[in-house]
Amino acid sequence: VHPSARALEVSQDRLVEKTILQELGVGTAPFRAVDDRPSLDAAIAVLGLPAVLKTRRGGYDGKGQAVLQAPGDVDAAWSELGGVPLILERFVPFESELSIVAVRALDGTIACWPVVENTHELGILRLTRAPAPGVDAALQASAEACIRPLLDFLDYVGVCCLELFDVDGELLANEMAPRVHNSGHWTIEGAHTSQFENHLRAVLGWPLGSTDARGASAMVNCIGGLPDRDAVLAVPGAHLHDYGKNPRRGRKVGHVTVNAADAASLEPALERVLELVRASADG
Amino acid sequence: VHPSARALEVSQDRLVEKTILQELGVGTAPFRAVDDRPSLDAAIAVLGLPAVLKTRRGGYDGKGQAVLQAPGDVDAAWSELGGVPLILERFVPFESELSIVAVRALDGTIACWPVVENTHELGILRLTRAPAPGVDAALQASAEACIRPLLDFLDYVGVCCLELFDVDGELLANEMAPRVHNSGHWTIEGAHTSQFENHLRAVLGWPLGSTDARGASAMVNCIGGLPDRDAVLAVPGAHLHDYGKNPRRGRKVGHVTVNAADAASLEPALERVLELVRASADG
């Protein structure tokens, strides 16, 4: 099997993915395979509630999953999702959702961008702060210790993202994305080398460029519609990316990256961009 | 006449250009029109030697000009350049060659990037340092005071560059380029908004983006050939731009921009890039 096919196989099946992460010593939420209603009940008995029931394949942006808060939620979740292979995961009371984007070169060299913090709204990524507020060398090292063994195991080449939950300073891996990732779009303006450039460098066998951040950045997704263009462009340090897509409810049609010398000076510009984006889009 | 046509007319004729600059109160080297041999001798009598004889139209990269160091050089220069309209300029004993790139929006707003220092080799731009070493607020203001009245006079829209000589801290305008300019290529990685993005913003009537520098940058032209790609890409903060041109002696076929947090940390990377570029190209 070609390494890129293996990475797709692994990432397309949440059960395979989490099993491999555990075998590599990377922490995840406790989980169980669910193939029928008895195995769901057995999984709940082991993991307890709250828990999250997910399809093993095909979900994104919060689709294909249901949170089980109490025993009364189980029937509805089963009738919504049952019939395809599922996975039940213990609900993780995370403090923040983080992700780390990394690139692995043909020669096995790995470079990681700073850990970022992601905020979701209605299951869709709304905001990425880069670097994540409060990230220090220890947390960066922990995050890299999650993604590096995975990339090596897969003999991966190119850019990959790993979503992480921060639970009291301990990182649990949630989901990998074997590609350039939305939470890495800030690197276009916010890092010395963007995830796109380094992906190309990697697959071409070229030396990787520096993944260091340049100041502080935030990336705001435009969901369902674009904000007022001139107003966004007038915000200091704001860069508007228009994907040229037809607007549709819940669809990412662009993003705005805000960059500044440091996190404090970023804040007013970010507030203004959030206001403009919220005024125009789904909410 | 459309403003863009007027800007071209002015910039394509060194005599018109310098005359307008002087009328706007912008300092230039003293000059005289030269249309025949008697007027050349008269101009030399007024301006003295050394002086530079240039074609009024069509020169670039040091072509179409000759330096007259002593009376003995005049015959050779005249036989090389005579027969077309010329201009004689007093030789300026400059300390450094600077340039300022500015952008003027449809509504007349002007934004200027930091003044840069240019180093030429054999009449061709080799190196741009951005910002120029030693530039301070006063020098920046002086340079802006040279280009702003010119852009307003021309009712210019878009990016324009003005080359300047620094003579003991006094700036003399040498030549305008009514377009994005080689000495502004560093803005792609080295400024919050590149000259290319701001040119498009300007002609589209959009708000201009910040022209502030991000750290310190240097741009090295690749003349006659490209340097070793992997070696350049391995230099921290180096960004290689390959124009996809056929290499030819004296032809700019690419450039490398080096960026770092400050001028001191830029220096080792720049030295390495210069070494690589010099090893591969015309010299």
**Would you call B26 exposed, middle or buried from its count of C-beta atoms within 10 A (0-12, 13-18, 19+)?**
buried
Reference B215, options B155, B262, B148; nearest CA is B262
Above pLDDT 70, what percent of chain A?
Answer: 98
Least confident of A9-23, B3-17, B82-96: B3-17
Query: Angle at the Cα of B174 (from B169 to B175), degrees rounded to 5?
Result: 140
Establish if B215 touches chain A: CB-CB under 8 angstroms: yes
Q: What is the arithmetic mean of pLDDT over A84-103?
A: 96
DSSP tally for chain A: helices H, then strands E: 9, 13
**CA of A232: which chain B residue's CA is closest?**
B207
Above pLDDT 70, what percent of chain B?
Answer: 98
Q: What is the pLDDT of residue B3?
A: 78
**CA of A198: which chain B residue's CA is closest?**
B233
Distance from CA of A214 to the nearest CA of B (A): 8
Please give the model's pTM, rounded to 2 decimal places: 0.90
Q: What is the pLDDT of residues A260-280, one digit of tens each?
A: 999 999 999 999 999 999 998
Q: What is the pLDDT of residues A218-244, one digit of tens each?
A: 999 999 999 999 999 999 999 999 999
**CA of A260: which chain B residue's CA is closest?**
B192
Give the pLDDT band of residue B282 (cuts 50, 70, 90): low
Contact A237 B207 (CB under 8 A): no
**Would you call A221 exposed, middle or buried from its count of C-beta atoms within 10 A (0-12, 13-18, 19+)?**
buried
> Is B39 a residue whose pLDDT tops 90?
yes
Q: Please identify which residue in the block is written with the tokens 């071409």.
A: A204
The DSSP code sequence of chain B is --HHHHHHHHHH-HHHHHHHHHHTT--B--EEEE-SHHHHHHHHHHH-SSEEEEESSS--TTTTEEEE-SGGGHHHHHHHHTTS-EEEEEPP--SEEEEEEEEE-TTS-EEEPPPEEEEEETTEEEEEEESPTT--HHHHHHHHHHHHHHHHHHT--EEEEEEEEEETTEEEEEEEESS--GGGTTHHHHBSS-HHHHHHHHHTTPPPPP--B-SEEEEEEEESSPPPHHHHHTSTTEEEEE--PPP-TT-EEEEEEEEESSHHHHHHHHHHHHHHHHHHS--
Q: What is the pLDDT of residue B4?
A: 77
Beta bridge partners of A124: A121
Task: Closest CB to A210: pick one of B214, B215, B237.
Answer: B237
> Is B283 a residue whose pLDDT tops 70?
no
E-state strands within chain A:
31-34, 51-55, 65-68, 86-90, 96-104, 110-112, 116-121, 124-130, 158-167, 170-177, 216-223, 238-242, 252-260
In terms of residues, how long is chain A?
283
CA distances from B266 to A191, A256, B191, B261 (A): 16, 29, 15, 7
Q: How many CB pairs under 8 A join A and B?
A: 29
Give the pLDDT band of residue A16 (cuts 50, 70, 90): very high
Q: What is the pLDDT of residue B165?
A: 97
Task: Closest CB to A209: pick one of B192, B210, B233.
Answer: B233
Distance in angstroms (rounded) separating the CA atoms of residues A144 and A133: 17
CA distances from A204 to A131, A147, B1, B193, B280 (A): 28, 22, 50, 28, 22
Q: What is the pLDDT of residues A32-45, one digit of tens each?
A: 999 999 999 999 99
Q: Please identify which residue in the block is written with the tokens 């394509």.
A: B12
Contact between A215 and A261 under an 8 Å Cβ cutoff? The reply is: yes
Q: What is the pLDDT of residues A146-196, one digit of tens each?
A: 999 999 999 999 999 999 999 998 999 999 999 999 999 999 999 999 999
Contact B233 A207 (CB under 8 A): yes
Q: What is the pLDDT of residue A58?
A: 84
The DSSP call for residue A248 is -
Higher pLDDT, B115 or A134: B115
Chain A residues in contact with B230 (beta carbon < 8 A)? 206-207
Q: What is the pLDDT of residues B52-90, one digit of tens each?
A: 999 999 876 667 899 999 999 999 999 999 889 999 999
Q: What is the pLDDT of residues B170-204, one digit of tens each?
A: 999 999 999 999 999 999 999 999 999 999 999 99
- The amino acid sitting at B158 is G
Distance from CA of A233 to the nearest CA of B (A): 6
Q: Which tokens is B260 given?
A: 């770092």
Q: What is the 3-state secondary structure (H, E, C) of B178-231?
A: CCCCHHHCCHHHHECCCHHHHHHHHHCCCCCCCCCECCEEEEEEEECCCCCHHH
Q: What is the arithmetic mean of pLDDT over A104-119?
A: 98
> Is A283 a residue whose pLDDT tops 70?
no
- The amino acid sitting at A27 is G
Q: What is the pLDDT of residue B5?
A: 83
Above pLDDT 90, what percent of chain B?
Answer: 91
Q: What is the pLDDT of residue B281?
A: 64
Q: What is the pLDDT of residue A4?
A: 77
Q: What is the pLDDT of residue A282?
A: 62
Contact A233 B201 (CB under 8 A): yes
Q: What is the pLDDT of residues B123-167, one digit of tens each?
A: 899 999 999 999 999 999 999 999 999 999 999 999 999 999 999
Q: What is the pLDDT of residue A56?
A: 95
Q: What is the pLDDT of residues B231-268, one digit of tens each?
A: 999 999 999 999 999 999 999 999 999 999 999 999 99
Reference A217, options A172, A168, A257, A277; nearest CA is A257
Establish if A90 touches chain B: CB-CB under 8 angstroms: no
Q: Which tokens is A172 given?
A: 């649990």
Establish if A229 touches chain B: CB-CB under 8 angstroms: yes
